[in-house]
Amino acid sequence: MSEAKAGGSGLCAGRVVAVTGAGRGLGRAHAHAYAAEGAKVVVNDLGVGLDGAPGAESPAAQVVREIRASGGEATAHGGDVATSEGAASLVATAVDTFGRLDTLVNNAGFLRDRMLVNLDEDDWDAVMRVHLKGHFLPLKHAAAYWRSQAKAGRPVAARIVNTSSGAGLSGSVGQGNYSAAKAGILGLTFVAAAELGRYGVQVNAIAPAARTRMTEATFAASMAAPERGGFDAMAPENVSPLVVWLGSAATGDGVTGRVFEVEGGRITVMEGWHPGPTVDKAERWTPAGAGAAVRELLARAQAPGAVYGAS
């Protein structure tokens, strides 16, 4: 059984965790944080650039070397998790190398930002594929493994942590493809939580704000500002403690189907869509009558949140 490393408490001792897109940024921070808490980590990274183009070398092996140098246990996986073969091999790598899989952190992604009128179909498909399909397929194969374990009578306390974004919660100008994919991840999270609970699997999502290759332009001002009191609020390592806890058995029962916004030292439970003002005529509306009713409802409703980047 793995033990806690420097600075860790052993919260994830004995657990096997797979993190996608773990070669850099948030994924790398998560992999290190899990290892520090005693987990054995499968570090997945395809090694592509911000636009999804292949890079010269996957950084997953470097992260594995760093974890091992700190006394942890890790192995690299370079498969494409947006393919069924790559996602299946991610689960197989965990089971074959460490004997089990307990936690899946879906984190892989990239950007192809354009205003909608300039957004090519290929850019839409590519972002949907990596973010949304790249969440669905690892989730599907991990869930099938845990279902088989549960049906065999073995205890399962599995966890999935999905990665959405503020863009998925409220939209972001110039990121129609990314916003739609990240909103889709939220819907996938809710369904997975409802379907997989019977097998001992809890599924949650985070909407992180941190400085990574993907957010350099978004957080340019924060990056240029001096750190306050020695605390770098945009460091990706700030997000990882919540991800580690959500991926541990310490959550107990009932922490599932939730979305958490996390930035710096702030954690917020996001509460999503709720019914607002309503009216029921109990018969069919005329177009003019429906319009008048909607105007009255809107006068009593909360104003929608601002889309990031809107003037």
Evaluate the CA torsion angle 163, 60, 14, 36 in order and state its sign.
negative
Which position among 178, 179, 240, 248 bears the catalytic label? 178
Taking the C-alpha atoms of residue 177 and residue 147, their distance in angstroms, rounded to an integer, is 32
**Which residues, 6+ apart, have CB-to-CB distance to 85 below 8 Å?**
79
Which position among 165, 172, 179, 248 bears the catalytic label? 165
Which position among 172, 182, 240, 248 bears the catalytic label? 182
CA 246 to chain centre: 11
Taking the C-alpha atoms of residue 94 and residue 98, their distance in angstroms, rounded to an integer, is 6
Check if 308 is active-site: no
How, if at all, do strands 73-77 and 259-263 pair?
unpaired
Q: Helix, strand or coil for residue 172?
A: strand
Check if 281 is active-site: no
**Tokens representing 175?**
């990121």
Taking the C-alpha atoms of residue 95 and residue 290, their distance in angstroms, rounded to an integer, is 57
Taking the C-alpha atoms of residue 59 and residue 43, their distance in angstroms, rounded to an integer, is 9
Torsion angles phi and psi, residue 69, rounded to 5: -65, -25
Taking the C-alpha atoms of residue 89 and residue 96, their distance in angstroms, rounded to an integer, is 10
Taking the C-alpha atoms of residue 250 and residue 226, their distance in angstroms, rounded to an integer, is 36
Any idea how long the chain is?
311
Taking the C-alpha atoms of residue 180 and residue 119, their distance in angstroms, rounded to an integer, is 13
Check if 178 is active-site: yes
- What amino acid positions are annotated as catalytic residues? 165, 178, 182
